[in-house]
Structure 1
Amino acid sequence: MRLAYVRRLLRLSPLVDGHNDLPWALREEKETPRDVEAYNLRRATRGMTDIARLRRGQVGGQFWSVYIPGDIRDSGYARVQLEQIDIAKRVIAKYPDVFQPAFTAGDVRKAYAAGKIGSLLGMEGGHAIENSLGALRAFYDLGARYMTLTHNVTLDWADAAGDLPRHNGLTKFGEEVVREMNRLGMLVDLSHVSPAVMSDALNITEAPVIFSHSSARAVTNVPRNVPDSILARLPKNGGVVMVTFVPGFVSQKVADHSAALTALRDSVAKRYPNDNDAQFKAAAAWRQSHPTPIATIADVADHLDHIKRVAGASHVGIGGDFDGITETVQGLEDVSKYPDLLAELVKRGWTDTELRGLMGENVLRVLTRAEVVSARVRQIRPASTRTIDQLDRKITP
């Protein structure tokens, strides 16, 4: 009954997911890497995303992540970023009856009204711009509508949550990146960055920010999640945290298990430094006696409830991270499962207005506001020609 109610609601507002890594999964496909024609989304894929499941999930808008790793400097960040944009665009173009390119909030609504999935691009990691505001502008012109300031690697201008901090937040050039993103109308994505970068970005930005795939640190204490001190600032900024479905980010039990396994592996590596077989057997024995806990839909809903309580219902969204993860939440295994999560929230008393905001209205409001800010700022501020050498005096090797 709740599921039927949710499905009716999804016919009134688009469900917009903030992060799906299908383009990278396609690049890494073992049998036919990078081959858009071979990776047929009209039949069930080995991954978490295909057209039938997108339809069952009633997805109305998708930010396709054009992710590139932060440790491939020698391959050329910008080159690989261009290749990922090319893959994503070819996927969208291959299925015009399903996907419709989108660059604005209005484009997403038009696609939804036509029964299609409004398809936007999101860059995951500022390393792709190679310390160049000109490159940032070029990627915007190619369709990127958000950029996650860092991935897991600290940059010359911003600290990552998953790496050692070097700047205590954003450098002067990092602040200029945020200002230029505001001028362009590109959403500032604060998933993956350190809390200091989150704070600095909120101080600098003129437009609302997003967290394209993060959860609440007060519920699951891992570096990738958002502290309450930042959540409390979102109402003034207007931004949105798009809660992710990564088991280790939504379940403290899963996070603790993962940390314990890492510690065990470090310990056995020191104990048997030259014996890979002994290391493997020790880790396997530990896993057998310490089975991995299961993250559930209820865990994800707990994060949504917490963010709604601290930041408000207008500041929460969904960013599943499908095809960017190897383990899934029980009940949220693929893109067909969004209605099941919404049904859980109906059970918890979420109103229609709150649900529609979570589904997509909140992030579309943020995108619309970024477009308004851009139109104003473009009239008073030209494209920045500042460089990292000028602003930070030196580039960290």
Structure 2
Amino acid sequence: MWSGLWLWPLVAVCTANTFREQAERIMQDTPVIDGHNDLPWQLLNMFNNQLLDKRADLNTLTGTHTNIPKLRAGFVGGQFWSAYTPCDTQNKDTVKRTLEQIDVIHRMCQLYPETFMCVTNSSGIRQAFRERKVASLIGVEGGHSIDSSLGVLRTLYHLGMRYMTLTHNCNTPWADNWLVDTEEDNAQSHGLSPFGKLVLKEMNRLGIIVDLAHVSVATMRAVLSQSSAPVIFSHSSAYRICEHRRNVPDDVLQLVNQTGSLVMVNFYNDYVSCKGEANLSQVADHLDHIKKVAGAGAVGFGGDYDGVLRLPAGLEDVSKYPDLVAELLRRNWTETEVRGALANNLLRVFEVVEQVSNHTQNPEEEPINLDKLEGSCRTQYGYSAAPGLHHQWGVLLAALAPLLLSWCLL
């Protein structure tokens, strides 16, 4: 009985190698589409978006979770690159900053055409797969980037944006963020305001995927009940496994199931283990739980690489995806379920979003109420109180009316 115990470590190693080999075989033709990567933000921080700087060469870039060799090793075939601007740009230069980050993503595709293919639809992703390139899509992280303007929303769509996260870590004038649930922020819209519903409707009309990462639970429920297309959580995990308010609670996961939506699991330690340290197995626990509650079609990967400081042991950079897939296979995920989590679930959602879109329908035009906007540098053209010359005499007469009336009564 005891004489055979020395074989068990060898059996374990061979079994692990088998799962890894199976993972690589699957990923050869179904590479991972990751929902959220902040490399463009790192390019801003490290090089002020000067991509021709020799240190910024993506073939040799160091100090980041992402570069071209790591993407190849990780079988990354599709990536939503985040065009992110922090909340402190709200009511300031957020639109300018967002445009600059979109420009960086386009220039990545131009500088490295052998690696990246900028695409804007599901068929483009499939084409990139066939050409063994990384399908590169633009996700705008934070609804503050549109500065409460449907015109800006449409313009970002024309520039290639294919998902927008409705909030980041701050409320917009029309949607509430997750910090409302921690009471670190105050609810303003209690989900979506009337203008927020117009934003949602216009995103559905255009074919922009709605992203519910970072939003409050009330906003999650409002969108899932009102969107005419499935939505995604581009980088969120399961609240039942780690009770962090950035994660998705089970009742919302049930709505995800009912609407054919998708949760792309975040790898940030604080959302994985609710601690400073985490490991690959704990990330797999989140994937297992979402599959159990919302179904295998609701699972994806949204690593949040280059947007976080702490990552699980075994998932230190984008090259590690095959190890996570091997762990799912070890946990008896079927090949169909694995292919779904890698790419097919996102492709399904994207295709339905495209089918729901209707560019022949008139766009939404009603602007947000002026009193909902902030910012001392904001002009008011187009509103009734706009300071254009054609309004100034009316404003002056309105101000003088009480004085003129008092003179007439004398």
Q: TM-score band, normalised by the shorter chain?
A: 0.7 to 0.9
In structure 2, the residue matched to 1:150 is 167
1:203 to 218, 225, 228: 225
Q: Which amino acid aligns with 1:315?
A: A
Q: What is the TM-score when the length of structure 1 is the normalising length? A: 0.86
In structure 2, the residue matched to 1:349 is 332
In structure 2, the residue matched to 1:10 is 27
Q: What are the ranges of 5 or more consecutive residues in structure 1 without an aligned counterpart?
A: 255-291
Q: What are the ranges of 5 or more consecutive residues in structure 2 without an aligned counterpart?
A: 1-17, 180-184, 375-410
In structure 1, the residue matched to 2:368 is 388
In structure 1, the residue matched to 2:208 is 186
Secondary structure at the aligned position of 1:65 is classed as strand
In structure 2, the residue matched to 1:321 is 304
Confirm whether residue 84 of structure 1 aligns to residue 64 of structure 2.
no
- 1-structure distance, mates of 2:311, 2:131: 31
Confirm whether residue 378 of structure 1 aligns to residue 378 of structure 2.
no
- 1-structure distance, mates of 2:241, 2:201: 32
2:37 to 13, 20, 23: 20
- 1-structure distance, mates of 2:61, 2:40: 16
2:323 to 323, 331, 340: 340
- 2-structure distance, mates of 1:51, 1:211: 25
Seen in structure 2, the aligned counterparts of structure 1 residues 178 and 74 have a Cα distance that, compared at 3 Å, is: closer
In structure 2, the residue matched to 1:264 is none
What does 1:99-138 correspond to in 2, within 5 Å? 99-138=116-155
Q: Which amino acid aligns with 2:359?
A: R
- Superposed CA deviations along residues 269-319 of structure 1, whole A, max 9, x for unmatched, are xxxxxxxxxxxxxxxxxxxxxxx5x20001100000000000000011000
- 2-structure distance, mates of 1:132, 1:75: 14
Q: What is the TM-score when the length of structure 2 is the normalising length? A: 0.84
- 2-structure distance, mates of 1:165, 1:183: 27
- 1-structure distance, mates of 2:21, 2:50: 38
1:34 to 49, 52, 62: 49
- Superposed CA deviations along residues 338-389 of structure 1, whole A, max 9, x for unmatched, are 0000011111110000000000100011001100000xx334x311101111
Per-residue deviation, 1:33: 2.3
Per-residue deviation, 1:249: 0.2
- Superposed CA deviations along residues 84-132 of structure 1, whole A, max 9, x for unmatched, are 1111111121100000011001101101100101100000000011110
- 1-structure distance, mates of 2:31, 2:157: 24
- 1-structure distance, mates of 2:309, 2:156: 28
Name the Cα RMSD after superposition: 1.1
- 2-structure distance, mates of 1:345, 1:49: 23
Q: Which amino acid aligns with 1:33?
A: N
Per-residue deviation, 1:324: 0.3
In structure 2, the residue matched to 1:368 is 351
- Deviating more after overlay: 191-200 vs 12-21: 12-21
Q: Which amino acid aligns with 1:200?
A: A
Q: Is the 8 A contact 2:267 2:283 kept in 1?
A: yes
In structure 1, the residue matched to 2:63 is 46
Q: Is the 8 A contact 1:317 1:359 kept in 2?
A: yes
Per-residue deviation, 1:394: 3.3
- 1-structure distance, mates of 2:114, 2:194: 45
- 1-structure distance, mates of 2:62, 2:351: 34
- 1-structure distance, mates of 2:50, 2:207: 32
Deviation beyond 3 Å, 4+ runs, structure 1? none
Identical-pair percentage = 46
Per-residue deviation, 1:235: 2.1
Q: How many residues align?
A: 350
Secondary structure at the aligned position of 2:88 is classed as coil
